[in-house]
Amino acid sequence: MYKIVVLAKQVPDTRNVGKDAMKADGTVNRGALPAIFNPEDLNALELALRIKDDYPGTVITLLTMGPIRAAEILREGMYRGADAGVLLTDKAFAGSDTLATSYALSKAIRKIGDFDLILAGRQAIDGDTAQVGPQVADKLGITQITYAEEIVSLTGKTIRVKRRLERGFEIVEGQLPLLITANGTAPECRPRNAKRLMKYKMATTLSERHNVSDDYLVNNNDKPYLNITEWCAKDVDSDLAQLGLGGSPTKVRQVENIVFQAKESKVLTPVDDDIDWLMQELITNHTIG
Amino acid sequence: MNNVCVYCEIEEGRIQEVSFELLTKGRSLANQLNVQLEALVIGNNLAGVEKEVSQYGVDIVYVADDPRLYPYTTLPHTVIAVELFRETQPQIVLMGATSIGRDLGPRISSSLGSGLTADCTDLQIGNYEDKKSGRKYESLLYQIRPAFGGNIVATIVNPDNRPQMATVREGVMKKEVIAATNEAEVLKIDVAKYLDDAAFAVKIIERRIESSKINLKDSSIVIAGGYGVGSKENFNLLHELAHTIGAEVGASRAAVDAGFAEKERQIGQTGITVRPKLYIACGISGQIQHIAGMQESAMVISINNDPNAPINKMADYVIHGNLENIIPKMIQYYKKNIK
């Protein structure tokens, strides 16, 4: 009933950057980190799936911009209930900041066609900017509701959304079409559905099929749902000047490791004498008391 | 023209702390660039608002005053800001990295085709050379922020597009009254000229904002607990010590995620920045993201039963042991010796 586009990103798992991910010279080894479905985009997908629960016939298209392997998250989304996936991939996108990314995504959405609602996670765990959602909305000429925790109601074109703010909440009402970004506090995404996993595990993009040897070249003419749409910059009618590094107003001047000032520590044991001594020190030099 | 402009956000008729902090930083940047500091205030019942901002060294306040402009919704604030900036052409625009700033900033930057850097932890003026084109730029805004989950620090610049936009979290910059007698010039924005009904498409049905009961930012002593505290019950020890010596209780992200403490108490890159004279870290390992929020503490004590906890390297005193033993002893000594 509703046509929903969910924006998702495949990201390195920056939440647990342990010693293995840091190279000897102190820089980050992206290759060592597993690539995952951006967590808040999964929250966004769940909000879309709940609308589909209430309104069967709703079509959810998952759109991602990334390298060829980003198709992995499209399959992941389909295992959980998305109806179709679109991969936007092209070397021309390399080096895109949020403005160039939102431009490319908005072109892809226009090519997908009419939509009632766009859902995206609030932010990705690698860039952490929370900018792409709102910028896509601006480029599509629709308004936005950010920091969404819950879709309170949806009837016809009227949607009510609960927003989680710093010190409280807000319930706002808007008219479709619009864009919503979902917080990490929104409901967790449901797990993979076994039947959907069986159905979609062989779904591939054109590039993925080209990368495999001829013996396994799968002809999906009789199973169109196994074709994951793949578009390049030209396919979505985009202006090269607005893509990639050249289309990005922001540039990285430098990247550094974080170094904290180390101090000479005085090490104490938890015996009464040591603790009494420390407390007296603090009192004497007026740090406490 | 070409000034530094700070968008000031409002809650309950008062300009928020983060905006004052950014006005202070904005004044400093404007001085370095030899330009003026402008403030943009959009809301309702704003008569006299210039008195709130003048003392931070603001030269011009642009005011858009209309009942429909408070509480904040996206389109009206975006349209007003974009139309104003097209006219006044600020070279730098700053706003808080709050649920308002992070909703508004990207909208404005997309409309103007300019670059925006979110959650900056520092802002400086400096030069830049584009290695590809060889072009040299002077007096650009360095937008410095953690990246990649907070594990590295990046310096971002917007060489060509204007304005250079940045959002900054509350508490990262320090606010400072520059000139108590300064009087900013007030320029009223004709709201009706810019906004039609379509701009007010989103309506606020219900709103509940609580004023914060916890003031970590201004506490001179902070006692923070990490995942190592072990439980919400054990956190009571920290609360007791805080109550005894007059401190406030903070927490690491891991402790908040585990349910030991409220989100309001979270210290670090995605939480609050504190600058107390004494920081007592209990059961905190010391991830980069946490240290970023307390590295300016004058004195640090680390209570941990892991001798290799990274936070120990930046502590003045390290106590190896269990906080269940240590904290009660501290409380006891204090009560005995302070009347």
Q: Which of A17, A143, A280 sits opposite B201 (nearest CB)?
A: A143
Percent pLDDT > 70 in chain B is 100
Q: Check B116 against A250: CB less than 8 A apart.
A: yes
Q: Domain of residue A44: give its range.
A: 3-242
Residues 97-126 of A with CB under 8 A from B: 97-99, 102, 125-126
For residue A193, what are the CA distances in angstroms to A82, A199, A205, A227, B288?
Answer: 11, 10, 21, 19, 38
* Top-confidence residue, A73 or B269: A73
CA distances from B139 to A8, B114, B122, B146, B275 (A): 37, 17, 15, 22, 30
Instruction: Report yes or no: A18 at the B interface, CB cutoff 8 Å.
Output: no
Let me know if residue B209 belongs to a domain: no
Q: Is the pLDDT of residue B125 over 70?
A: yes
B89 and B174 belong to one structural domain: yes
pLDDT in tens, B233-266: 999 999 999 999 999 999 999 999 899 999 889 9
Best probe of the A interface among B102, B104, B295, B301, by most A CBs < 10 A, is B102
- Place B210 in a pLDDT band, splitting at 50, 70 and 90: confident
In this complex, which of A22, A172, A260 lies closest to B204 when CB atoms are compared? A172
Chain A contact set for B337 (CB, 8 A): 279-280, 283, 289
Tell me if A267 is assigned to some domain.
no
Is B106 within the bounds of a domain? yes
CATH code for position B263: 3.40.50.1220
Check if the beta carbon of residue A3 is closer than 8 Å to that of residue A114. yes
Alpha carbon dihedral B124, B126, B130, B134, in 10-degree steps, equals: 180
Query: Is residue B188 assigned to a domain?
Result: yes
All residues of chain A having their beta carbon less than 8 Å from the beta carbon of residue B156 are 250-253
Q: How many domains does chain A have?
A: 1
Q: Give the span between the Cα atoms of B70 and A245, in whole angstroms.
A: 38
**A20 in reach of chain B (CB within 8 A):** no
Tally the C-alpha atoms within 13 A of residue A231's C-alpha that lie toward its C-beta. 20
Q: Supply the pLDDT for residue B116.
A: 96
Contact yes or no for A126 and B148 at CB 8 A: yes
Contacts of residue B305 in chain A, CB cutoff 8 Å? none
A99 exposed, middle or buried (CB, 10 Å; 0-12, 13-18, 19+)? buried
Per-residue pLDDT of chain A (289 residues; tens, 9 = 90+): 999 999 999 998 887 776 566 665 555 666 778 899 999 999 999 999 999 999 999 999 999 999 999 999 999 999 999 999 999 999 999 989 999 999 999 999 999 999 999 999 999 988 889 999 999 999 999 999 999 999 999 999 999 999 999 889 999 999 999 999 999 999 999 999 999 999 999 899 988 887 765 545 566 667 888 889 999 999 999 999 999 988 999 999 988 887 777 888 899 988 888 999 999 999 998 888 7
| CA A249 to centroid of chain Cα atoms | 22
pLDDT for res A23: 62
Q: Give the chain A residue nearest B202 (alpha carbons).
A: A174
Check if A165 contacts B (Cβ < 8 Å): yes
Q: Is the Cβ pair A258, B330 closer than 8 Å?
A: no
CATH assignment at residue A237: 3.40.50.620
Domain stop point among B138, B166, B200? B200
Please answer whether residues A119 and A6 qualify as being in contact, where contact means their C-beta atoms are separated by less than 8 angstroms: yes
Return the ∠ at Cα B270 (arms to B266 and B274), rounded to 5°: 55
pLDDT of residue A218: 60
Contact between residue B10 and residue B16 where contact means Cβ atoms under 8 Å apart: yes
Closest by CA to A226, choosing from A247, A251, A206, is: A206
CB A62 within 8 A of CB A74: yes
Indicate if B145 and B247 belong to the same structural domain. no
Question: What pLDDT shows up at residue B286?
Answer: 92
Residue of A nearest to B247 (CA): A288
Polymer length in residues for chain B: 339
Whole-prediction pTM value? 0.90
Is residue B215 domain-resident? no
Q: Is A251 on the interface with B (CB under 8 A)?
A: yes
- 8 Å CB contact between B273 and B217: yes
- If asked whether residues B31 and B63 sit together in one domain, one would say yes
A29 φ, ψ (degrees, to nearest 5): -100, 90
pLDDT higher at A21 or B175: B175
Nearest alpha-carbon partner for A151 in A30, A34, A55, A11: A55
Inter-axis angle of helices B323-337 and A272-284, to 10 degrees?
Answer: 50
Looking at the DSSP assignment, which residues form a beta bridge with residue B74? none
| Interchain pair A135, B109: CB under 8 A | yes
* A105 contacts A132 by C-beta, under 8 angstroms: yes
Domain end point (choices B151, B166, B200): B200
Is the link from the previous residue into B71 a cis peptide, with omega within 30 of 0?
yes
Count of domains in chain B?
Answer: 2
Q: Is residue A263 domain-resident?
A: no
- Distance (Å, whole) CA B212 – CA A164: 15
Q: What is the CATH number of the domain that holds B113?
A: 3.40.50.620
The CA–CA distances, whole Å, from B18 to B9, B168, B212 equal 8, 8, 14
pLDDT (0 to 100) of residue B18: 95
* pLDDT given at position B10: 94
Best-predicted range by mean pLDDT (B84-93, B205-214, B281-290): B84-93
Q: How many CB pairs under 8 A join A and B?
A: 245
B158 shares its domain with B241: no
Same domain, B160 and B245: no
Contact A255 B147 (CB under 8 A): yes
Q: What is the pLDDT of residue A260?
A: 77
Residue A104 maps to a domain: yes
Spatial contact of B62 and B189, defined as CB atoms under 8 Å apart: yes
Verify that B238 and B193 share a domain, yes or no: no
With residues binned 3-state (H G I as helix, E B as strand, rest as coil), the percentages for chain B, rounded to 5, are 30, 30, 40
What's the count of helices (H) and strands (E) in chain A, helices before strands?
7, 13
Q: Tell me chain A's radius of gyration from C-alpha atoms.
A: 24
Q: Do B158 and A250 touch (CB under 8 A)?
A: yes
Determine the Cα–Cα distance for residues B177 and B9; give it in Å rounded to an integer: 18
Chain A, nearest residue to B209 by Cα? A168
The interface pTM score, or ipTM, of the predicted complex is 0.89
Residue in A250, A266, A196, A181 with CA at minimum distance from that of residue A226: A196
Q: Which helix (H) or strand (E) holds B120?
A: strand B116-120
The shortest CB-CB distance from B110 to any of A139, A173, A287 is to A139
Structural domain contains residue B216: no
Range of the domain at B144: 4-200
What pLDDT score does B297 carry?
A: 94
Select the more confidently predicted residue: A136 or B212: A136
> Is residue B212 assigned to a domain?
no
Does residue A248 belong to any structural domain of this protein? Answer: no
What are φ and ψ of residue B337, in 5° steps? -105, -10
Would the CB atoms of B117 and A280 count as touching at under 8 Å?
no
Q: Given this model, what pLDDT does residue A30 score?
A: 67
For residues B186 and B247, state if they share a domain.
no
With respect to residue A266, please indicate whether it lies within any of the assigned structural domains. Answer: no
A chain contacts of residue B114, beta-carbon cutoff 8 Å: 249
In a domain, B22, yes or no: yes
Say if A215 falls within a structural domain: yes
